[in-house]
Amino acid sequence: MTVRPLLTVCAIVLGNGASWADDAPIAVEIVPVEERPLTFEIKLTGTIAAQDSIDLSFPAGGRITSILVQAGDRVTGGYALARSDNVQQQQALVQALAGVEAAEAAEQQAAQAATRTAGLLQRGVGTRAAADAADQALAAARGQLESALTSLRQARRAVLDTVIRAPQTAVVTARWAEPGQVVGAAQPILTLAALTRLEAVFQVPDTPQLERAAGVRVSLAPLERPGVELTARVTEIAPLVDPATGSVTVRATIEGPFDTSLLGAAVQGTLHMPAGTGIEVPWTALSAAGQSPVVWRVEPDGTVAIVPVEIERFATGRVVLRSGVSPGDSVVGEGSQLMFPGRRVVPGKGR
């Protein structure tokens, strides 16, 4: 940043004998000096990823007959993604249906027998033992029917399990198997990225500042989408250093509406780390007297006075001062190159 040189004018006498100090006030930018929270910015480069990842597999092992998606495909909830050989499951379903039909017939016969024996007992021509036996047979038949219905539900579930379906709207990020391959139970076939939340993932050198990064705001700029700006918050800092890279993984959840097409995009992030409080002035307020930085302070009578300052650091468009001015003071911003001690100023846009 270039520091403006001080224009030193002790006295300039006009043709009528008046000095510049006696001339009309000049309109300049007058900036109030305030103490405000400061941030220390760290530039990062990473990628946008899904916050939730889903691995899909077949509950039972078997031979894959088809995989209907490729990596990068976007799918909706319920969409069929892969199928496995279901011949055995279909046969088991047919047997289960036959078992239910047989159990229903047996239950109906037992119910009819129980009704007859109860009627005979009421008329006095039957025995209690026969009625109790009929009731026991009915209870057993009903138990068999319930067992058959359970087997039917399991058989239907097994047929449905030969098809992998998307649980929700997502993007396929990995395909781990191919048609014709024999896989085991719960062996991953596809990996999906849920589109409910996106996050930025960075690999950051291990520094002490990371201890204060949790919850810090991050400004994101996708490298392939100029002009697009996103905001995120740091939600996770890996407790261990990756031995392969010597870096720490930092994750920041993207806030507000986001474009799901950004999944996998490279992104530049600016981590706004809190750095206490300090006094900031615009860079236009900074001048120099010899080798020393100075600002023009506006006095209560509307004149300006030169004040040496000590610079803490530079920020984009701003200068952080360590000393020289205090909260409640006012300094000249735009137009400071026109100042000299005692010159009168009024608020304006500067020159």
Looking at residue 23, its pLDDT comes to 66
Instruction: Kindly tell me the sign of the dihedral angle through the C-alpha atoms of 288, 292, 298, 304.
Output: negative
pLDDT at 137 over 80: yes
Looking at residue 144, its pLDDT comes to 95
What CATH number does domain 4-38+277-347 carry, 2.40.420.20, 2.30.40.10, 3.30.420.40, 1.10.10.10?
Answer: 2.40.420.20
pLDDT at 92 over 90: yes
Whole-angstrom CA distances from 66 to 75, 158, 177 are 16, 17, 10
Classify residue 62 as left (phi > 0), alpha (psi -120 to 50) or beta. left
At 296-322, the pLDDT tens digits run 999 999 999 999 999 888 877 888 888
- The fold adopted by the segment(s) 42-52+195-276 is Elongation Factor Tu (Ef-tu); domain 3 (2.40.30)
Confidence of residue 40 (pLDDT cuts 50, 70, 90): confident
* Among 66-70, 132-136, 211-215, the least confident range: 211-215
pLDDT at 4 over 70: no
At 219-249, the pLDDT tens digits run 999 998 888 899 999 999 988 888 888 889 9
Whole-angstrom CA distances from 160 to 62, 110, 148 are 14, 34, 18
Over residues 182-208, the mean pLDDT reads: 90
Looking at residue 350, its pLDDT comes to 54
Whole-angstrom CA distances from 349 to 31, 86, 336 are 11, 79, 12
CB of 266 closer than 8 Å to CB of 47: yes
- The fold adopted by the segment(s) 54-78+167-194 is OB fold (Dihydrolipoamide Acetyltransferase, E2P) (2.40.50)
Classify residue 72 as left (phi > 0), alpha (psi -120 to 50) or beta. left
Q: Does the pTM exceed 0.75?
A: no
What is the C-alpha end-to-end distance of the chain, expressed in Å? 20
Regarding predicted confidence, which is higher, 161 or 317?
161
Looking at residue 67, its pLDDT comes to 96
How many C-beta neighbours within 10 Å does residue 334 have? 17
Classify residue 342 as left (phi > 0), alpha (psi -120 to 50) or beta. left
Over residues 35-48, the mean pLDDT reads: 84
At 261-299, the pLDDT tens digits run 888 889 999 988 877 778 888 888 999 888 889 999 999
Looking at residue 10, its pLDDT comes to 36
> What are the boundaries of each domain within the chain?
4-38+277-347, 42-52+195-276, 54-78+167-194, 87-160
CB-side neighbour CA atoms (13 Å) of 225: 18
CA 312 – CA 309 distance, rounded (Å) = 10
